[in-house]
A and B are shown apart, each in its own frame.
Chain A
């Protein structure tokens, strides 16, 4: 009995021993992977993990079987297969798993059939109607403002005055994270907002200002959207920059921003005396001008001043001649209090004191008149402008929208000039104000998927009173009776009231054709009053006849406009027919008259996309326009210290025909891109002048003349040379224009002016420390009348950029101006440099700026007109060096 028991035990132990030996020597684990339907899963992945370390990878074969050896206790198996949930099991020897095939059941995975799209790291991403650029691929770190950042993005052209164009087309607006603060006044943003928080720049093509018009209206408008990086969103950030230099030159800039999802705030201020105009162009903020845009009635209605004493525009950087002391403060915000309502507020205050110095010698040589005038001007203009705009946008529903915009502008200007006219010391003073109130309401209803109805109402009230005095009396020959006179004054008021209603229907048909109908009524009332007095000291000697105006001009335009766009494959035709019935009423110094003209303005155009590389657009139009109040007042008005002017005194309609042709080869993103533009226009009638020219004064009377022609041809080419990694731009242009006028009782004389311009630019795109940009442009002007005058000017520039390392960079900008017709001093050189050192990356930066290092104090310019030539000398801001400190937060 005992023996049997012992034997059994021994056998059992023996069997166990062998078993465990076998287990140790074989250590083979076999497995079978199955799904819940007992189907074998082939090529599943099995990972053997021990203590979180992946020891081995095994795969199941086509029959779902796998095996592996050398397994130790405590291992885990991780089994995964495509379309199934990953399973983890712990292997335990003791449970007798050896030599038995372990069955592993996998559960199917519930998958989202959604795409997984990554944020592409490509620098340029093209989607329908949107092209995005990741800025880090294009910038080199020296860009301070958004304007400088945009200059590095290929395809964007920034002009000298800050106008931003995509290719050849100006943008409608510059948005930040989808919201627009300034519309066409975007320069105030691009010139002030810092570039560092911007991560991406989006080009939006076929852009519609009104979201309900997207894909319905025919538009080739473009817009830019700046996207901020994540860390700059929803936090207050900004920068503070102060520069100080010699001779009271200074600049202080502060930007404070917060771009959240619900509310966006942007406050900034700019105080400077270095000639920089921070408003960019106030006009575009106060009076944005949109051609042919739905709901844009009244955009082109504004008051024109009779005279102004401001420096003329030169073919020259305005910052060099603008002696200023400007302070600008702007507060802007966008609120989204509810999902449907958006409120935008915009306000700025600008104080500026600008000085301008100009000396000129005018030689008049025409029809029996020869004389030379010397004028030495010293302007000092002080102005204060306050502007506020309030915008309510209410999304009534997905297809209905109501928008109300209120604008208020108040400007006060005091212009003084100290003038030495032919040796006579003269002081002119012009005080004028501008008050504008503008209210617009737009109701948009997208009543069907492709049909939109807009109803717009607008009211504008604008006044520009002016008070002009001169402390000399130059018009002895005109008013011989007043021999004791020693000063004159002119007071004028120019006021406009506008009220308009417009109903606009857009119908985008299923086959892509677009029909537009507009019915509207616009009423405009202008009141022009001028009082010219001749004084001796403080007493009025005379209010001469023929120099006083009291004009009331009312125009009521009832119109029907229709437009049809037909598209056949790549060929499109646009036909337009505008019918106007006008009711004009003119009251000139108590003499009133009426006129009810009726006219039709047709236009026909086509665009043809021959293929991806060749595009042609062309159009012909015939247009009749009604004269404006400044064309038809009946008595003389002073428009300058030695010029009088008057209108025709009667109603007038002007007819003109024009033809436009544009050929585009390639796209701006190609290596080669060319754009040719031809414009021919003929004015069948136009306003010209009958001028009496004397040394001390001129008197110009507006007359109506027939037939003059204008032609302009311009071609731009872009080519990228790979071997020198540089881009070449060539710009060629020719303009010919005709004019006819009468001077000093001559016959009607023909004045022809021919302008030729040709220029080229080469810009590098090296990835090294150094980069260059060089260019030159010639301008030839010829004027033919009874005498012929011509001259050629040249402007060249060379910009060098050095980026030594992440902390230090250096820019050098030089220009050369050459004036062909000056006797002496024909060439002028300018040199500016900018150096920047980043003390603490993204926080503190030091800068050194030097402008006009050659200290060119004056520069002279030569110009020709139809009656003579003139040489003008301008004073320039002298050399200055600024030390700059910028702090970012």
Chain B
């Protein structure tokens, strides 16, 4: 007992971080290959119970040359995804038509298949491969048990370790961790959504709003066509994003 107190004091003076004080920051490179390849830099901040995923600036790539997308001068995040394990929910801050929304959904339980025999070293950490289906895509990820957290980039979570790399089966989405930093809570920002009061909405309703807006835009365009031009067929495709299909949608 006498020995443990000085030992503890030594530990503290060495800069030990108690669990609540530790915030881990991962910088990801997010590459989306929908119509035009776009690369974004994003940051994931997490503690043991919550995570915040911030999407930052994006650049378009042409082959290996990059050129900046016009208009995105500032460095503030457009989209923030907050996974809260205690509340069992995912909160997303996003904007539509210049209004900010806080979209809420239940924490998804992705069923992962862990390929225990696989082995890779990413950023110096021993990683294992896993595959899982989520909203229309099958993701193949590499996660490391050496960082014991269930979080990962974007909404990917539920593995016994941090997800360092992820890609989908259609080769349209890539997440690659570039940098890992350990921050002290006093230095680290961690309450990205606390100050703001956005309009709260559920994910299902938000998607409905999004599709409605796109449809009305399409109609606007058709209405502006000059006299004499005919619209022979009209088919409206849904907004294409990372999530292709939702749980509440029936198979068509």
Contact = CB atoms under 8 A, between A and B. Distances in A.
Among A81, A84, A116, A117, the most chain B Cβ lie within 10 Å of the Cβ of: A116
Tell me whether chain A's interface is mostly helix, strand or loop, or mixed.
loop
Nearest to B147: A82
A101 to B, nearest CB: 20
B18 interface: yes
A120 interface: yes
A83 B49 contact: no
A671 B62 contact: yes
B31 to A, nearest CB: 11
Interface stretch (B63-71, B202-210, B213-221, B228-236): B63-71
Contacts of B182: 111-113
Interface stretch (B9-17, B74-82, B134-142): B9-17
A54 B116 contact: yes
A713 B148 CA distance: 64
Interface in B46-96: 46-49, 62-67, 85-86
B116 A82 contact: no
Interface string A45-69: 1010000011001010010000000
A41 interface: yes
B238 interface: no
A82 B48 contact: yes
A154 interface: yes
A158 B148 CA distance: 52
Given A41-B48, A45-B161, A118-B178, A84 B19 contact: yes
A110 interface: yes
A57 B116 CA distance: 12
B126 interface: no
A123 B177 CA distance: 16
A43 B24 CA distance: 15
A80 B122 CA distance: 19
Among B64, B116, B149, the most chain A Cβ lie within 10 Å of the Cβ of: B64
B63 A725 contact: yes
A117 B27 CA distance: 10
B180 interface: yes
B22 A115 contact: no
Contacts of A53: 116
A42 interface: yes
Contact of B63 (A36, A42, A108, A765): A765
B68 to A, nearest CB: 9
Given A41-B48, A82-B147, A116 B123 contact: yes
A540 B176 CA distance: 86
Contact of B62 (A108, A123, A722): A722
Interface in B93-132: 114, 116, 122-124
A81 B18 CA distance: 11
A226 to B, nearest CB: 19
Given A118-B123, A118-B179, A41 B19 contact: yes
A164 interface: no
A265 interface: no
A118 B120 CA distance: 14
A581 B161 CA distance: 76
A129 interface: no
Nearest to A108: B16
A720 interface: yes
Contacts of B49: 42-43, 62
B148 A62 contact: no
A541 interface: no
A44 interface: yes
A16 interface: no
Contact of B64 (A47, A123, A722): A123
A720 B160 contact: no
B184 interface: yes
A797 to B, nearest CB: 24
Interface string A18-56: 000000000000000001100001111101000001100
A679 to B, nearest CB: 31
A192 to B, nearest CB: 28
Given A42-B48, A54-B116, A108-B11, A35 B19 contact: yes
A83 B86 contact: no
Contacts of A283: none
Interface string B1-31: 0000000100100111111011010000100
Interface string A718-748: 0010100100000000000000000000000
Given A62-B49, A110-B16, A124 B64 contact: yes
A669 interface: yes
A365 interface: no
Interface in B133-168: 145, 147-150, 160-161
Contacts of A118: 122-124, 177-179
Contacts of B29: 122
Contacts of A112: 182
A154 B64 CA distance: 10
B249 interface: no
B48 A81 contact: yes
A719 to B, nearest CB: 12
Contacts of A161: none
Given A137-B64, A725-B63, A113 B15 contact: yes
Among A47, A111, A138, the most chain B Cβ lie within 10 Å of the Cβ of: A111
B251 interface: no
A83 B150 contact: no
B125 to A, nearest CB: 9
A763 to B, nearest CB: 13
Among B19, B49, B180, the most chain A Cβ lie within 10 Å of the Cβ of: B19
B63 A82 contact: no
A120 B14 contact: no
Nearest to A666: B67
Contacts of A54: 114, 116
> Lowest 5 CB-CB distances: which A-B pairs, in order?
A80-B148, A83-B22, A45-B148, A116-B180, A57-B160
Given A45-B150, A57-B160, A62-B49, 16 more contacts: A45-B148, A47-B160, A54-B114, A59-B150, A80-B145, A81-B48, A81-B148, A82-B22, A82-B47, A82-B148, A83-B48, A86-B148, A116-B123, A118-B122, A118-B177, A120-B178
11 contacts: A35-B18, A44-B48, A82-B22, A82-B149, A83-B17, A83-B22, A108-B17, A113-B184, A137-B64, A671-B67, A725-B63
Interface of B: 8, 11, 14-19, 21-22, 24, 29, 46-49, 62-67, 85-86, 114, 116, 122-124, 145, 147-150, 160-161, 176-184
